């Protein structure tokens, strides 16, 4: 019942109403995410317990939408035969760690320089910012009677 009210359909509508940052997710259990902006980059940290670098896909879609998908390899869920063919499951709360997240990035980022890595069950995505353009110094412009 709680998934009905707080699951991904509610969250998707809630975050689309906000102009920025737009965040979207879908799964049976969305992966928790931290997003920190530093002077040089945006750093996203997403919990991906049990997933390795080959189980996580990170890509940029539609110009500035960062999409992160996690899908465990076949055989890691409860039907994998790990406990033998005669095993009877009494409780299966951990489930699959499959998830998908989409984050609309701001315009001042360099999508061609995005880096991502998985360590100790945490996916870290570093999105560098464009260097701040220096404002031109004010300079006098001579005014002539004829151009």
Tally of domains within the chain: 1
Confidence category of residue 84, pLDDT binned at 50, 70, 90: low
- Strand duo 56-61 + 33-37: pairing: unpaired
Within a domain: 49 = yes
Confidence category of residue 8, pLDDT binned at 50, 70, 90: very low
Query: CB-based contacts of 3: which residues, under 8 Å, 6+ apart?
Result: none
Within a domain: 27 = no
Within a domain: 108 = yes
Q: Is residue 60 over pLDDT 70?
A: yes
E strands, the chain, where?
23-27, 33-37, 41-47, 56-61, 65-70, 99-104, 115-119, 122-128
Within a domain: 3 = no
Judged by DSSP in three states, 44 sits in strand
Q: Among 16-30, 53-67, 87-101, 112-126, which stretch is predicted with the lowest mean pLDDT?
A: 16-30
Within a domain: 18 = no
The Cα 125–Cα 122 span in angstroms is 10
Residue in 58, 42, 62, 35 with CA at minimum distance from that of residue 116: 58
Find the CATH number of the domain harbouring 113. 2.60.40.790
According to the model, what pLDDT value does residue 124 have? 95
Within a domain: 1 = no
Q: Among 37-46, 71-80, 104-113, which stretch is predicted with the lowest mean pLDDT?
A: 71-80
Task: Show the domain range for 124.
Answer: 32-75+89-131
According to the model, what pLDDT value does residue 141 have? 78
Within a domain: 71 = yes
Within a domain: 80 = no
The Cα 139–Cα 43 span in angstroms is 38
Model pTM? 0.64
Instruction: Give the residue, 65 or 50, on which the prediction is more confident.
Output: 65
């Amino acid at each position: 019942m709680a998934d009905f009210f707080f699951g991904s359909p509610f969250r998707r509508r809630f975050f689309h109403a906000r102009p920025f940052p737009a965040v979207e997710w879908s799964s049976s259990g969305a992966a928790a995410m931290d997003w920190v902006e530093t002077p040089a980059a945006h750093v996203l940290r997403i919990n991906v317990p049990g997933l390795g670098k080959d189980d996580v896909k990170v890509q940029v879609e539609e110009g500035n939408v960062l999409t992160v998908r996690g899908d465990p390899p076949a055989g890691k869920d409860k039907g994998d035969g790990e406990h033998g063919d005669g095993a009877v499951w009494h409780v299966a709360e951990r489930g699959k760690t499959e998830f998908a997240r989409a984050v609309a990035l701001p315009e001042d980022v360099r999508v061609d320089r995005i880096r991502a890595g998985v360590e100790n069950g945490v996916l870290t995505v570093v999105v560098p910012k464009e260097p701040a353009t220096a404002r031109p110094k004010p300079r006098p412009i001579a005014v002539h009677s004829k151009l």
